[in-house]
Chains A and B, each alone.
Chain A
Amino acid sequence: MRTRILLFILLTLALYSCNKDTEVLIPSAGPNSFMKETYPLNSASKSLMEGVYQVGSGSDFFGDHVILKWNRTSLSIACSNGKYFVMEVGHLDSVIFVQGYWRNGYTDDTGLASLVIAKEEGGTTILTGNGNQKIILRGAFGLESGLPDQPLVLNYLRPFSDKVKKSNFYILAHRSGGRTSDRLPASENSIEMINYTEKFGSTGIEVDVRLSVDGIPFIYHDPDINIRLTKKGPLAGPIENYTWAQLSTFVRLIHGEKIPTLEDALTFVVDSTLLRFVYLDMKGNPGTMEKVIPIQKRILERAKNVGRDLIVVVGIPSSTVLNDLMNYPDYQTIPSLCELTVDDVHQVNSMVWAPRWTLGTQNDLVQQMHNEGRLAVCWTIDPISWIQDYIENGLFDGLLTNFPYVVAYYHYIQE
């Protein structure tokens, strides 16, 4: 009997130890990848590659169509079912090599992908701009860290429609580009995540703003220091009890990054990214607003000086924050994003109205905002079918999401 009971206890402990969250390792071709032997494509060539592709082999896995869109550093391929590719591209002679990984954003599925555009299947056309070759990407994808062994063929179908090209739609990524819980290569609300998120097709970000006890705004979501977001260290409890120096010295985000100050994060957005929209979600205590607005002004000035068309708005998620803003002189001139009612939008003259997505597309109110010269975006929409519905049937100027590649797919595939 003793043995049986001990077995019961041991089994219990063993099963408890299974609760550790898994990490998703991004597969890589490794440091000896031949991609470093290739030459980068110029802007004109990149532009020729973009568009809607029909999936030949591999459609069971990636859907019937994908979109190819270049970002600042790499080529993004977005699928209809939540899968996406992050690919490096280079050429040798007239052959274009496309190599990277795919990932299902809603699960932990991932694998390597390797594609080639042959000289006679679009390589020459893309590189020279001459000829009328049909672009075909041929290659394979793998599962987990296995070598790519499942055939994948992408056939160029059409360029992005004029509607898409003319639109100023914002693909807004949550938590500076992606949540820690989605097991991405960088921690949420970090400069590293801001640097990465364009690979998902994001054109804007939302960041969570808090205030240290000595008045430094920084970006971090939860009210406390916890092991969900940070490496386990000696500091714990409410994060806004600590000075910025303490947080900077003794707290590291889950992938080892420092918590960034708001000013550092926004400076990085201006100097090192092509992001066009930053939504400052004010999580902090009353008094945060007066520290954030001067930073917002400095960053907008910095962006203007380098010719960047960047929107940085302070978020108004509650009446407390609304009152906080209204205590600021000339508050109606401050670019803000109001999550409350249309009346509240008018009261503080918000640049953007941002209702919760579960309230519906509300096309009449969105149209009213447009008529008043305001933007409307909604937060935080994640289910694929709803993203599709809001893009096809809604009038929003942007969607905030945890899955920007899904928004990218349904936006760029519009005819």
Chain B
Amino acid sequence: MIKKYIILILIIFFGVFSGYSQKVDSLIVKRNHYSFTIGGGWTHYINSLEIGKKDARINFAGISLKFFWEPEHRLSLGLETGFYQIYKVKINDYMNVTGQAGMSAIPLLLTVRMRIVDHFHLSVGAGLAMMFNKVSGMGQNINSTILSLSNYQFSGSYIYPLHKHWLVGGEFKVLDFGKADDWIYSVQAICTIRL
């Protein structure tokens, strides 16, 4: 009886595993996929301010959203956006008023991602970004929206499949916002749903 159970468990195990093995085969994927990825984590501004550099806060939380078309080979093509606070600078001793100036950005990038080895990808993207400069507490609040036309991202990610449709992983990325030549890097946890 015990032997039968053991054999049955082995059959189920190998059967299920062999079924999964076809799904997670990273070299030959049988059809197109579409994936949606959300990521969140730490961002760090490579502080290149020449005014207010010492008073700048440069670590924030950031989020990213990506949509990819994943054909059967190594490359994927997609769009990427997100929200990144780049820096906030405390402005003191200005007519005895403490103020704050900050820059944030929403990029919209055309991104190409390439699977290097199983689960590990490199990507490069280029496109537009809306940058938001917000100044407060200096007698008046000023909100400026700036269109940045030349923006780039480079990233490496590790994505592990938990299930046929669900994947999780981590990503390291570098973003360049060209209008002010602001560079940030970000380490994010990512969650992907693949259809």
Contact = CB atoms under 8 A, between A and B. Distances in A.
Q: Consider the complex of A and B and state whether they touch directly, i.e. have CB atoms less than 8 Å apart.
A: yes
A5 B131 contact: no
B24 interface: no
Contact of B91 (A1, A234, A236, A242): A234
Contacts of B139: 243, 245-246
Contacts of B135: 234-235, 242, 246
A234 B145 CA distance: 14
Contact of A237 (B56, B102, B145): B145
Interface stretch (B4-12, B27-35, B116-124, B160-168): B116-124
B26 interface: no
A38 interface: no
Given A2-B117, A9-B154, A243-B139, A236 B50 contact: no
A236 B122 contact: no
B101 interface: yes
A255 B101 CA distance: 22
Interface string A226-258: 110001111111100111011001111000000
A13 interface: yes
B149 interface: no
Contact of B144 (A16, A231, A238): A238
Contacts of A6: 122
A235 B95 contact: no
A233 B53 CA distance: 8
Interface residues of B, number: 36
Interface residues of A, number: 29
Contacts of A238: 144
B179 A226 contact: yes
A1 B122 CA distance: 13
B87 interface: yes
B133 A232 contact: no
A246 B51 CA distance: 13
A213 B142 CA distance: 11
Given A5-B114, A236-B131, A241-B144, A252 B180 contact: no
Contacts of A130: none
A5 B74 CA distance: 13
B56 to A, nearest CB: 8
Nearest to A1: B116
Contacts of A249: 94
A234 B49 contact: yes
B38 interface: no
A376 B63 CA distance: 58
B114 A237 contact: no
Contacts of B181: 227, 232
A357 to B, nearest CB: 30
Contacts of A234: 49, 51-52, 56, 87, 89, 91, 101-103, 135
Name which of A2, A6, A12, A237 has the most chain B CB atoms within 10 A of its CB: A237
B195 interface: no
A108 interface: no
B138 interface: yes
Nearest to A256: B50
Contact of B133 (A16, A235, A245): A235
B180 A226 contact: yes
A232 B51 CA distance: 6
Interface in B144-172: 144-146, 152, 154
14 contacts: A1-B116, A2-B117, A9-B124, A12-B154, A226-B180, A231-B51, A232-B49, A233-B50, A236-B180, A237-B142, A245-B94, A246-B139, A250-B51, A251-B51
